[in-house]
Amino acid sequence: MGFENPIALWLSLALPLLFILTLWRLKPVRVVIPSIYLWGRIKDRNPPINALQKPRFNVLLLFQIMVVASGIIAIASPFVEVSSTEPKTVIVVIDASASMKTRVSTTKMRFDMAVEEVEKLINALQDYDTVEIYTSGSNSSYFKGDKGGAFSYLRKISVADCESDVVDVCKNVVISVSGGKNVRMFLVSDKDIDLGDVNERFIRILVGGKSDNIGITRLSVDKRADGLYDIFVAIGNFTGNEIEVPLRIADSSISKNVIAKVGITTLVLEKVDIGSNNLIEVIIDRNDSLDVDNGAGAFKLNGRQLKVLMSGVDNRFLSKSFRAMPDTDLTVSQVPTSSGYDIYIYNEMLPSVIPKGGDIVIVNPPSDFSSFRFGKVLDSTLVDEGGNQLLRDVNIDEVKVVGAREISSGLQVEDVFTIKGKPIAVLYADVGKSILVLSFELTADAVGGGRWMYYPSFPIFWANYVEFIRSKRKSWISDFTTAKVGIPLLLPREYKDASIRYLANDEKLRPAEDTDGRISFIPYSVGRYQMKSKDDKKDIYVNLLSENESDNNGSEHLLPDNVFEDLKTTRVKKPFLQYFAILSVLFMIICWVLEKRMS
Amino acid sequence: MTNKIFDSDFLRKIERLKLFVKRILPTVAEGNKVSKRVGSGIDFMNYRGYVQGDEIRYVDWNVYARSEGLFIREFAKEDAVPIYIILDNSPSMDFGAPSKFIFAKKLSAALAYIGLVCLDKITICLGSNDGFVSQGFRGEYSASQVFDMLYSLEINRSIRLEEIVVRTRSIAKKGGAFFIISDFWDSEMQKDVKELTFNNSEVSLIHILSNEEVKPSTKGKIRLFDSEGSTHIDRFVGEEELIEYDRLLKGHIDNYKQFAMRYNMNYIFAPTDSAFEEVIMVYLREAFILR
C-alpha cells in the first residue's frame, strides 16, 4: 500500500495533541447569577488544581480520534498497486469448413471443440479488451466487440458444408490490423495450414483428434477412343492405418475393394461402360465421421456434337481436320447458312448476316499460313514480324460486313470484313465480347481477284488450326467433368438462362454471367444440383472439399500457455481513499449523536 | 378588554377577587376597604345606568344627548385606602426560565387589576433609567393602561429597590397598602421596608425566586458574576457546596419570613415554577393578600 500524499500523514501528530487537550483542565465556567450573596457565604474548598486531569475512558474522545485518523488517511490518498495489462485486441479466425464437422465424440464435432477453445481464450481477457472473430466458409461472418458480445456470437456460428479458404481470410485480417498495438491473432482449425507470408502472425489452435476419415479427394473421367471411359479416382486415407474400402459406381454393377494406403491412393477404373448416363458416381461404402467425401461424381453437361458448317468450296485439309475431332459433325454446303452451327467456315460465299459472338466464324481461311497468327486478343500497339498491326479488343460493332463478291473481285464496300478499314479474316471465338482476332491480310491474290481461296499445302498448319479451335471449344466438350465447392463451373451459353435447383433443400439458383461474357455457376454446398435449360435437363454432382479438407493433423488441440505473457503489463494504482472518507463521516455522525446524548 | 398579559378568561376569574387590607387605617371611614359608594370626591370613577332614587344632578347630560340614555357619574370616596405596588425591576430579576421579571410583572398586573376593579386607587412604583417612577391609576377603564405599562416595562440599572422603597414611602404620606414584589436578595433593604409600616400601613412581601436559584445545577469550577455589580467570586461547586447553598437559601427565606412576621407584614414565597394562577388563587389568598 502507498499514499499519494504521504505528507498528510504528518497531520497524525494532531492525534496525541487531541488526547492531551481533552486532559487539559479548563478555566472556571463563567456564570452570571442574580446575586452572589449566598455563594459568598460558602467557603471555597479550593481543591488542588492540576493542569491535567486524570485520564478517563471517554467514548466520545475515541470516536473523535477515529474521525481525525480516518480523515488524515483519506487526505493522504492510500492506494494499492495491482497488475494490469494494457487493453489488447484479440482476433480469432475460426475454420468453419466442412472438415470441422468431423466428430471427435458422439456429441462433439471438431467445430465444437474449436468454439470451446475460443471461449477459453476469451474468458482470459479483461472486460476492456476487444475481440474480433472471423469465420471462414460459406457461412462466413464477422464479429467485433467485447468479451460479453463474443460469447453470444459464438453460440450462433455454425460450420459450413464446404471447403473454405482460410488463407485468404487470414491475409485480409493481417491487412486490416497492420499497425495495431497489442494485437494477438489466432487461427483455430483442424488443419495446420500454411498461411504464406502471414504464417508467423497467427498463433495456431489446432483442434481435432484421430479421425476415422477416408474419402474421395479427386475424380476425373476420360473418354476413350472406343467410346468407353477410364475413371481416375484418388482416395485419401487419414486414419493412420491401411484399410480396405469397398468402392463402387452407382447405378452400375461395377464395384471393387480397394486398399487405401495411408495418405493418397490413386486408382483407375478402366474401360467403364456407362451407357448413355450423364452422371458417373463413385462411392466408398464406409461409415466414418466425415461422410461428405465418401462420394464423388462426374457429369456431362452437353452431350451433343460440335456442328461445323463449311460453305463454299470444300477445303479438304480443313474438313479432314474437323472430321478428326471427336464429337464433331461437319456439314459442307453450298448454302451459306448463318445459324444453327457452332463453327462457320465461309469459303467464297457469305450469308447476308454473319453470326456474331458465341460461335466461331471463319471467313476465307488463308492459304498462306505464314501470315496467319494464332493468339488471343492482340494488341494494337504491337506489330508483327511482317509489320502487320496486331489489333486488340476490337468490338464486334466495329466490324463492317462487306460483300464477298467484292473480295473476289477486289476490295468492295460490302460483304467483306474489315476492321479499321483493313480487310481481314475474322475468327470469333467464345471469349465474350472481345474478338479473337487472327490478324492477317488478305493476300494479294485474294484481293486482286480470281479465286481467293487456296488450299494450303501444309496439313500441319490445319492441324494446329483445328487444335486451336479445339482449345477454344471448352464449353462444347461432351466430356465428363467434376465440380468442386466454391470453384466456378463454366457452362455453355445455352445454359445462360437455366434454372438450377439444389436438391438438398430445394434452393433455387441461377448461373451468372461475368464481365467477359462467360456463363458460370459456383456451387457452395456439396451435393446434387439439377440444371434445367429450355430443352435440356442435367444433374450436377458437386464434390468436396480439397484434399486437405479431409486431412487430420492428428494432434490434440492446445491453446498455447501464456499467450499474453509478452504483452506489456503495468502496475496500476487502485485508490481506496473513498472508504476512509466514508468512515470519517460515519464517525462524525456517531460523535454528534454521542454529544447530543451526553448533553 | 384586550391586553398582552392576560387572557379574558383569567381576568374574569380574578375580577371576583379583592385586595384584602386587614388594617383599619385612620383615614378609612368604614374601616375596611374602599367603599364602592359614590362619594363626593373629585375622582371620577365610572358610569352606571340611572335607577329610581339616584340624584338627578349626577346625570351626565352630555352622554344623554349622545345616547338618549340616562347615566350617572360615580366618584370615588375620598377616604379610600391607596394601594402601592412596588415592583422590583432591578437586573437580578432578569433571570430564570420562566423569567422572574415576567412573573413579577404578571403579579403586579393581576394585583393592580383586582384593585382597579374594586375602584381602588393603585400606584405602581418602580425604577427606570431616569430614576424612580410612580404612576397612579383608578377605575377599571385604566386597567389597559396598567397592562400596557407593565408589558413594556424593562429592567432598570440605575436605581436599586431600597431606593424605590424609600421614595415610595415619601409619596405615600398617608400610608396605605404596600405590595412589594421582589427577589429580596439584599437583606440590607429590610430596614427600609419596615419603614413602610408607619401609620398602620399594611405591607405584603411577595418573594420570587427562579428554579435555578432554588436548585442550582452547575458544578465544577465556576466563576460567579453578580448581575447587579461587577464583582465575582470563584467557587468550586460540588455536592457539598450545593447542600450548603440549599441550607443558606432556606435560612435566607426564613429570615424574611421572620422579618415579615415581626413587623406584621404579609409574606409569601412564590417560586416561578409555580403555576401562576395557583399563586393568585391559592397562595395570595392563603396569605390574606387577596380574598
CB–CB of B41/B34 below 8 Å? no
Higher pLDDT pick, B78 / A138: A138
pLDDT at site A414:
32
Q: How many Cβ pairs closer than 8 A exist between chain A and B?
A: 86
Candidates A24, A35, A41, A49, partner chain B, best to mutate (most B CBs within 10 A): A35
Mean pLDDT value of segment A488-501: 81
Q: For the ranges A206-220, A289-303, A384-398, A515-529, which has the lowest average pLDDT?
A: A384-398
For residue A39, which residues of chain B lie inside 8 Å, CB to CB?
A: 224, 233, 235, 245
pLDDT in tens, A264-304: 888 888 888 887 777 888 899 988 777 777 888 888 776 55
**Within chain B, which residues score under 70 in pLDDT?**
1-3, 21-45, 55, 57, 74-80
Distance CA A206, CA A100 (A): 11
DSSP B282: I
Calculate the alpha carbon distances from B222 to A46, A598, B234, B246 in Å.
11, 20, 6, 17
Q: What is the pLDDT of residues A562-587, one digit of tens each?
A: 666 655 556 667 778 888 889 889 99
Measure CB to CB from residue A42 to each of B91, B213, B241 and give the nearest one. Answer: B241
| Contact residues, chain B, for A44 at CB < 8 Å | 233-236
Rounded mean pLDDT, A412-416: 32
Q: Please tell me the predicted confidence (pLDDT) of residue B254.
A: 92
Instruction: Nearest chain B residue to A32 by CA: give it.
Output: B225
pLDDT at A391: 41
Residue contact B222–A36, C-beta within 8 A: no
Calculate how close chain B gets to A24, using CA atoms only, in Å.
Answer: 14
| Minimal CA separation from A34 to chain B, in Å | 4
Report how far Cα B288 is from the mean position of its chain's Cα atoms. 14
A561: nearest Cα among A193, A120, A253: A120
Q: Please answer yes or no on whether B235 and A33 come within 8 Å at the CB atom.
A: no
Mutate: best of A30, A32, A50, partner B, most B CBs <10 A: A32
- Give the residue-averaged pLDDT of A228-242: 85
Of A19-23, A181-185, A545-549, B205-209, the range with the highest mean pLDDT is B205-209
With CB atoms and an 8 Å threshold, state whether A36 touches B233. yes
The larger pLDDT score, comparing residue A237 to residue A27, is at A237
Q: A259 falls in which pLDDT band (50, 70, 90)? A: very high
Q: What is the pLDDT of residues A78-106, one digit of tens each?
A: 888 776 667 788 899 998 887 787 776 67
| pLDDT surpasses 50 at A437 | no
| Complex confidence, ipTM | 0.79
- Yes or no, beta carbons of B236 and A44 under 8 Å apart: yes
Q: What is the pLDDT of residue B123?
A: 92
Q: For residue A87, what pLDDT is reported?
A: 75
- Number of Cβ within a 10 Å radius of residue A107: 7
pLDDT at A178: 61
Nearest residue in A to B249, CA atom? A38
Q: A270: which residues sit within 8 A by CB, 6+ positions away?
A: A230, A231
Model pTM score: 0.40
The sign of the CA dihedral B53, B54, B59, B64 is negative
Answer yes or no: is pLDDT of A314 > 50: yes
Average the pLDDT over A358-371 and give the result: 47
Chain A, nearest residue to B235 by Cα: A44
A89, A183 contact by CB (below 8 A): yes
Domain A87-208 has CATH 3.40.640.10: no
Residue A452 clears pLDDT 70, i.e. is over it: no
With a cut of 60, say whether residue A555 has pLDDT above it.
no
Contact present, A250 and A238 (Cβ < 8 Å):
no
C-beta neighbour count of B133 within 10 angstroms: 18
B-chain residues within 8 Å CB-CB of A51? Answer: none
Instruction: Using pLDDT thresholds of 50, 70 and 90, give the confidence band for residue A406.
Output: very low
Residue B215: per-residue pLDDT: 92
Most B-contacting residue of A24, A26, A31 (CB-CB within 10 A), to test interface: A31
pLDDT score of A445: 39
Q: Look at residue A405 and tell me whether its pLDDT is greater than 50.
A: no
Q: What is the pLDDT of residues A19-32, one digit of tens each?
A: 777 766 666 788 88
> Looking at per-residue confidence, does B200 or A405 come out higher?
B200
How many CB atoms sit inside 10 A of residue A297's CB?
25
Chain B contact residues (CB < 8 Å to A): 91-93, 95, 100, 183, 185-187, 210, 213, 216, 218, 220-228, 231-236, 238, 240-241, 244-245, 248-249, 252
Interface with A, mutate which of B89, B210, B218, B248 (most A CBs under 10 A): B248
Contacts of A36 in chain B (CB under 8 A): 224-226, 231-233
Residue B22's pLDDT is what?
A: 64
Residues with Cβ < 8 Å from A422, sequence gap 6 or more? A389, A441
In angstroms, the separation between the Cα of residue B159 and the nearest Cα of chain A is: 16
> Which residues, at least 6 apart from B227, have a Cβ–Cβ distance to it below 8 Å?
A32, A33, A34, A35, B91, B92, B94, B95
- Give the confidence band of A491 by pLDDT, cuts at 50, 70, 90: confident
Residue A283 one-letter amino acid: I
**E strands within A193-305?**
202-206, 214-223, 229-237, 243-249, 255-260, 263-272, 279-284, 295-299
Closest Cα in chain A to B92: A34
The CATH architecture that domain A214-299 belongs to is: Sandwich (2.60)
pLDDT at A468: 53
Cross-chain residue pair B235–A44, CB shorter than 8 Å: yes
Using CB atoms, which residue from B185, B233, B236 is nearest to A45?
B236
> Domain-by-domain residue ranges, chain A?
2-79+575-598, 87-208, 214-299, 301-446
For residue A50, the chain B residues in CB contact (below 8 A) are none
Q: Do A35 and B92 touch (CB under 8 A)?
A: yes
Check: CB of residue A390 under 8 Å from CB of residue A363.
no
The chain B residue lying nearest A37, using CA atoms, is B185
Identical fold for domains A87-208 and A214-299, yes or no, is: no
pLDDT score recorded for residue A92:
93
Strand, coil or helix: what is A173?
Answer: helix
- pLDDT, tens digit, 9 for 90 and up, residues A105-120: 677 788 888 898 899 8
Cell numbers placing A56: 478517563
